[in-house]
Structure 1
Amino acid sequence: MDVYSNIKQGERGAWVSIFAYIFCSVLKIAIAVMAGSEALMADGLNNSTDVVASIAVLIGLKIARKPPDQDHPYGHFRAETISALVASFIMLFVGIQVVTDAVPTFLDPNHSAPSMLAGWTALFTAVIMFGVYRYNRSLAERTNSQALMAASADNRSDALVSIGTFVGVAGAQFHLNWLDPLAAFVVGLIILKTAWDIFRDCTHRLTDGFDQDLLEQLRETISGITGVEDIGDIKARYLGSSVLVDVVIHVDPDLNVVESHSITEKIEERMKKVHKINTVHIHIEPIMQQKLVQR
């Protein structure tokens, strides 16, 4: 399955998230108004930002699926990362709003306990989001979509947030009224933390940052291939959910062109099989004779 097919399947997971978030956000906000729950309202607003974020990711995936053109010879894969970056700003704004709204309510001694209906609603939607999480995680593993894997992690955190909302509302039934706004405050902090994590990851990728531990794993994989005498240099960068690797390998200077090319084919095959990387740019250089003798 090529990278474009993977992106197309990733769109299916984004659609599932969008429909689930729309249903959950509308239900939570409506019940929060009826039950007077700050925590459930914060949870519903969190899901509303997830709708916008999922739509942004969906748009990014659709743009990323466009083939290379004259202005984009490497394709449009980074549109996926840019859309996630936009989503992080939206989540940041809502997170700040939820936190600032929860503080006055927490300090209000006359704040009344919400109806337990809010708690059961939160628990019901938590079950839904755990189901969405399992679906998207399975799809991400099958398609090797890092964007969908990140989305599934967000699905899981939303389910955990809803469980926290349930605990806050349930605690308020025992005259611990401060638990409901406290749960809203914690939900706001979780939104801010998620926004920061997405922002940090996106900016790291857009500036061609790459995990050095993973780069070392790529080096070890290539070094273990028969015919590769040494690795002169290796670099990698992200293009959306794809990884592009540039490597300089040293081979026996007595090899002919066909034999050298055979080594590059082995590298490409191994990288695809072990690391699911489809794009490897390989530059071949003859190893210095003294190095060859030492090896």
Structure 2
Amino acid sequence: MTVENSSAKHSFALAQQRNDVSLTRYSGRFAPSPTGPLHFGSLITAVASYCDAKAHQGSWLVRIEDTDIPRIYPDSEAHILRAIDAFQFEADDTIIFQKDRLDLYESVLHQLQQDHLVYACQCTRKMLGSNHIYTGTCRELNLPFDQHAIRLKVSDQEICFDDRLQGTHCSNLQRDLGDFVLKRRDGIINYQLAVVIDDYLQGMTHVVRGADLLDNTERQIWLGSVLGYPQLEYMHLPLAMNDQGQKLSKQNLAQALDLNRASELLQHAIRALHQPEVDLDTPKNMLIQAIAQWDIQSIPHSLQLDGTYL
């Protein structure tokens, strides 16, 4: 899928800021949000993204996705950094924080505005009601951009990608979602915008993350195409569930990782991914063994993992 406009040219200017360290044949990342401490589901994602990158002789970066500043949970960023150290993951470059990069996101938004690919929207959730498909109510109103949400225009076309675990996944954004928000009316940069820009600037080639983010992918592919960015390879992992049948998440009060049990929890995560057994050792040695044995075909090709993980 190709979208030709001057925003694609803007990618060449941003390319000057791309991280040359991560421009390898394979470049992956772990990108947690500090809306709570890391839990076992986060560990599964970290292990899978790390092993997949290293098994491909690639680089692995860490990005803290903290643009939603009001939702940042106290001490959660520090817990994430302590967890990375405790599990002895070795990032191949400096960890970045999205809240330090807001000017970058605003510059891309400005370019999209100049190219008439976005518009201001005054609709609130109350106004939209239960309709989850945005019908373009504000598309032709030419509202001022200050004090309003900013939506990206989508087209009536099918977007498909081949997920390495979940198979072919398709969506027509106009029919299934409608124009979507890149910046909220309260000024918060939306996840979709920040992740697409940073994946590009950090030279990402592969994304390994939970299946709860599967439905975000077509949006990110569309935005990346509008901006002239290369399309990435995706692998969406089956989710670890609790005993209530809910995915492990901060919202469902998933238990924080006990960093004093790093080796034990790491072994548990490797088993959850259906990988060959590793010896109980230091996390570093366990990861080396897991990388040497890494086999994505053994990961369940499903949306959920069997069993419960508290």
Shorter-normalised TM range: under 0.3
- Structure with the larger helix share: 1
- Structure with the larger strand share: 2
Structure 2 length as normaliser, TM-score?
A: 0.26
User: With CA pairs under 8 Å and 6+ residues apart, which has the higher RCO, 1 or 2?
Assistant: 2
